[in-house]
Amino acid sequence: MATLKELAKKNELFSGGHRLCTGCGIPPIVRLILRSANAPVVATTATGCLEVGTTIYPYTAWRIPWIHSAFENAAATISGIETAYRAFKKKGKIPKEKDIKFVAFGGDGGTYDIGLQALSGALERGHNFLYVCYDNGAYMNTGIQRSGATPFGAATTTSPAGDIILGKQEVRKDLTRIVVAHNVPYAAQASPHNWADLSKKAEKALKTNGPTFLNIISPCPLGWYSKPEESIEAAKVAVDTCYWPLYEVENGVLKINYKPKQKRPIGDWLKMQGRFKHLLKPENQALLDKLQGCIDAEWERLLSLDGKVI
Amino acid sequence: MAITMTKGQVGLTGNTAVAYAMKQINPDVCAAYPITPSTQIVEEFSGYVADGAVDTEFITVESEHSAMSACIGASAAGARVMTATSSQGLALMWEMLYIASGMRLPIILTNVNRALSSPINIHCDHSDSMGARDSGWIQLYSETVQEAYDNLFQAVRIAENEKVMLPVMVCLDGFITSHAIENMSLLDDAEVRQFIGEYKALHSLLDTDNPVTYGAMTLPDTYIEFKRQQSDAIARAKDVVSEIGKDFGNRFGREYGLMEKYMLDDADVAIVILSSAAGTTKVAVDELRKKGKKVGILRPRLFRPFPFKEVADALKGVKAVACLDRVDSMSGFGGPLFNEVRSSLYESEKRPKIASRIFGLGGRDYKVKDAVGVFEELLKIAETGKVEVLTKYITM
Ligand SMILES: Cc1ncc(C[n+]2csc(CCOP(=O)(O)OP(=O)(O)O)c2C)c(N)n1
């Protein structure tokens, strides 16, 4: 695995000057993944903040071949690109020794919801690619609407905290588990605050033959109503509260990559974000307890599977 | 259906002929999803892949939306790419059709025409491809199995022509052409290879030393320029279609133009119609000509871009025209062919009288007597100079 010094020396393939927000979690995630690749990368991005923020014509932040085609089809688009690569290799139009890595990036909306079918299809077909979901917990690009990844209780513009209904009423979808159920060779959850873990996972995923998946929590000051300067801290607290466990499933074996010495209460994470304000009111303790209960149950489930073939 | 003969006459269904043309084209990538009545194309092509008869990488996608998305990815990666679909499949691709043409990707799609739901119906009409008529795809409509087969090779050349760089949709009628066996002749593989040549994309995503960005976000300061370029390109496609149709004729003896005129030169009245129904109409023309009636047919082969000048020119001596659409555009004002033809005639000094007739939806038979009925009505219109009913459904 590359050291921080080695990573820093790699070419910057995702240039500055893009229009993603201050404190957005996406740029550090993308930069680190591109630096971890050890080979040329061709990428696609689903419609969303990353696409809109990096390519306003005639500018592009991508110093690699890159395509955006639509919202729900990043996995299908990368399937086509990767297949063309195999066709050209077979016909000798690309030299045998040339190795190209294929990466699809999508937000949680483009991955958990509208793009789930295309993702499932591409995983099942076994294309050689890495799918990266940056999970900021809502459709941020279109103004913070709820997604299947939005945490229980969070206020969004389509699940507002009203007088009667207090934020999102449903528990989030466990996408990583859905991906694992496709029996892919490698899937993991990561966080931008832990660069070493994230970079190692990206390197591993890109080295693996077959479809691989990274689900990465991505703080969004605009949608979380959090302080931009606290984004990386917010990612860390998400992990320390076990809201976002860092784990991987490699060839069917689950491994927890980080176990907090002292699991922090979920309130520590919620209080950094305005979208959970209502959950911290004494009269809504039951909602907070429900969220804590979900997190505890998932963490217990992971602990019980740690080191095992699942 | 196994094909052992590569030259001379052979009896094939439209689907088998299309699958065989795809085998001869040997594209780099094919991504497709089954749907009646085009399923056989996908199945037979899978057979060629499984037998190693082609080098193509075949992606068995989980939907038509993903089929077109994968075609877009592969085409942007520099591959020669083909797919096939019908009806709901084309409808599901709709979003991606615009993206393929907007990115100027020379993808080839065979659409076996079938009605759109609801109510669900698997039989022929043109509501699927006509729904995509403004998607920026070049559209060729084929009358016969032979023409569908021949169109596929020409489509490759048209799409990849550097003056064009646009996707092409080759349409043939569901069941009527896709499942009926016709006597036709095949080209040899070497002739096909020479005719279509090698494809070298201008900008490939796999050229990692020269990275390109595809699909950037544009704001009001640039979007319209992209669309203007695309519009110019599809307008240029018209002459390219003619040139390639001529070249095809010179090489293989079957020349194709923008349209077919049948007994039109001295005709008093004419039916304008697409695809296989022109065949039925020809029988009606032959019968009526025997009785001394001056009737004829104009069958546009190219619907997008619409050859409006040539259509107006072809109809300039005619007194009355009926446009027969196998689809209703639900505009309350006839079908798409009627609208295009009527608009094309606006500049003509001596405009013929014109009427819209919607026929054959959801596979309803269109018979010789139906065509005769329309011609008789037209002859009356030519005599009286009056169109009694501007738009109506026939074959009811
Ligand atoms: C088919 C389709 N439906 C809706 C949209 C509108 N849309 C664009 S981006 C987006 C939300 C993206 O959310 P997510 O995937 O979470 O990414 P983020 O914006 O957070 O980066 C939506 C709803 C679209 N572009 N295409």
**Could you tell me which of B104, B109, B73 has the C-alpha nearest to residue B89?**
B109
Inspect the interface and report whether the beta carbons of A56 and B219 lie closer than 8 Å. Answer: yes
Determine whether the interchain pair A88/B56 forms a contact, defined as Cβ–Cβ distance below 8 Å. no
Positive or negative torsion for Cα A187, A188, A189, A193: negative
User: Nearest CA to B122 among B130, B112, B132, B134?
Assistant: B112
Q: Which region holds residue B394: left if phi is over 0, alpha if psi is between -120 and 50, else beta?
A: beta
Tens digit of each residue's pLDDT (9 = 90 or more) over A74-98: 999 999 999 999 999 999 999 999 9
Whether residue B4 has pLDDT greater than 70: no
Ligand 1 near A109 CB (within 6 A): yes
Contact (Cβ atoms closer than 8 angstroms) between residue B96 and residue B70: no
Atom of ligand 1 nearest to the CA of A115: 15
Contact: B72, A42; criterion CB under 8 Å: no
Residues of A in contact with B96 (CB under 8 A): 69-70, 73
Residue ranges matching CATH 3.40.50.970 in chain B: 8-252
Distance from CA of B203 to the nearest CA of A (A): 10
Q: Which chain A residue lies closest to B70 (C-alpha atoms)?
A: A80
Q: CB distance A77–B72 less than 8 Å?
A: yes
Backbone phi and psi for residue A111, each to the nearest 5 degrees, phi listed first: -115, -55
Alpha-carbon distance B156 to B104, whole Å? Answer: 14
Taking an 8 Å cut-off on Cβ atoms, the answer to whether A79 and B73 are in contact is: yes
- Place B1 in a pLDDT band, splitting at 50, 70 and 90: very low
Residue A310, domain member (yes or no): no
Spelled out in words, what is the top-level CATH class assigned to the domain B259-393? alpha beta
Task: Calculate the average pLDDT of chain B.
Answer: 97
- Say whether B80 sits in a helix, a strand or coil: coil
Q: What is the pLDDT of residues B250-277, one digit of tens each?
A: 999 999 999 999 999 999 999 999 999 9
Which residues pair with residue A249 across a beta bridge?
A187, A254
Per-residue burial over A183-222, b if 16 or more Cβ lie within 10 Å, else e, is ebbbbbbbbbbbbebbbbbbbbbbebeebbbbbbbbbbbb
Establish whether residue A218 lines the binding site of ligand 1, counting it when its CB lies within 6 angstroms of any ligand atom. Answer: no
Residue A77 in contact with partner chain B when CB distance is under 8 A: yes
pLDDT in tens, A206-244: 999 999 999 999 999 999 999 999 999 999 999 999 999
A78 and B205 Cβ atoms separated by less than 8 Å: no
Specify the CATH number for the domain of residue A275.
3.40.50.970
> How far is the CA of B185 from the CAs of B146, B217, B256, in angstroms?
7, 47, 15
> B204 phi and psi, to 5 degrees?
-110, 140
Ligand 1 center–CA A48 separation, angstroms: 5
Torsion of Cα atoms, A172 then A177 then A178 then A182, to 10°: 170
Percent share of chain A, pLDDT over 90: 98
How many angstroms separate the CA atoms of A177 and A188, rounded? 10
Matching CATH number, B8-252, of 3.40.50.970, 3.40.50.300, 3.20.20.140, 3.30.365.10: 3.40.50.970
Mutate to test the interface with A, among B58, B61, B66 (most CBs of A within 10 A): B66
* B79 close contact with A: CB closer than 8 A: yes
CB of B2 within 8 Å of a chain A CB? The answer is no
Which of B56, B101, B199, B208 to probe the A interface (max A CBs under 10 A)? Answer: B208
Residues 6+ apart with CB under 8 A from B346: none
pLDDT of residue B5: 52
Q: How far apart are CA B280 and CA B274, in angstroms?
A: 11
B44-98 pLDDT tens trace:
999 999 999 999 999 999 999 999 999 999 999 999 999 999 999 999 999 999 9
Start-end of CATH 3.40.50.920 domains in chain B: 259-393
Average pLDDT, chain A: 97
CB burial class (10 A; 0-12, 13-18, 19+) of residue A262?
exposed
Hey, which residues 40-59 in chain A have their CB within 8 Å of chain B? 40-42, 44, 51-52, 55-59
pTM, whole model, 2 decimals?
0.97
Domain that holds residue A225: 4-305
Nearest residue, CB atoms, B62 vs list A57, A65, A120: A120
Q: Which pLDDT band, with edges at 50, 70 and 90, does B7 fall under?
A: low
Percentage above 70 pLDDT, chain B: 98
Atom index in ligand 1 nearest the CA of residue A49 equals 21
- Got the DSSP string for B259-271? EEEES-TT-SEEE
**DSSP 8-state secondary structure symbol assigned to residue A109:** I
Rounded Cα distance between A25 and A219, Å, is 5
Residue A1, pLDDT > 90, answer no
pLDDT tens, position by position, B134-158:
999 999 999 999 999 999 999 999 9
Residue B269 tokens, joined: 């009245």
DSSP label of A113: I
Asked whether the beta carbons of residue A80 and residue B222 sit closer than 8 angstroms, the reply is: no
Centre a 10 Å sphere on the Cβ of residue B258 and count the other Cβ atoms it contains: 21
Do the Cβ atoms of A235 and A25 come closer than 8 Å? yes
Q: What is the pLDDT of residues A242-275, one digit of tens each?
A: 999 999 999 999 999 999 999 999 999 999 999 9
User: How many domains are contained in chain A?
Assistant: 1
Q: How confident is the model at residue A291 (pLDDT cuts 50, 70, 90)?
A: very high
How many residues would you count in chain B?
Answer: 396
Average pLDDT over residues B98-103: 98
Give the three-class secondary structure for B11: strand
The tokens describing B98, both together, are: 């615009």
pLDDT class of B388 with cuts at 50, 70, 90: very high
CB B178 within 8 A of CB B40: yes
> Is B59 in contact with B42 (CB distance < 8 Å)?
no
CA A42 to ligand 1 centroid distance, Å = 22
d(CA A135, CA A203): 20
How many other C-beta atoms lie within 10 A of the C-beta of residue B282? 21
- Residue A20 CB neighbours (<10 A): 17
Sign, CA torsion B45/B46/B52/B54: positive
Return the ligand 1 atom nearest residue A135 CA.
16
Phi/psi-derived region of residue A149, left when phi > 0, alpha when psi is between -120 and 50, beta in every other case: alpha
The tokens for A12 are 């910057």
Q: Which two tokens stand for residue B40?
A: 């056989």
Domain membership of residue A71 (yes or no) is yes
Closest Cβ opposite residue A60 in set B62, B208, B213? B213
Across residues A283-288, what is the average pLDDT?
97
Choosing among B80, B83, B93, B213, which should be mutated to test the A contact, i.e. which has the most A CBs within 10 A?
B213
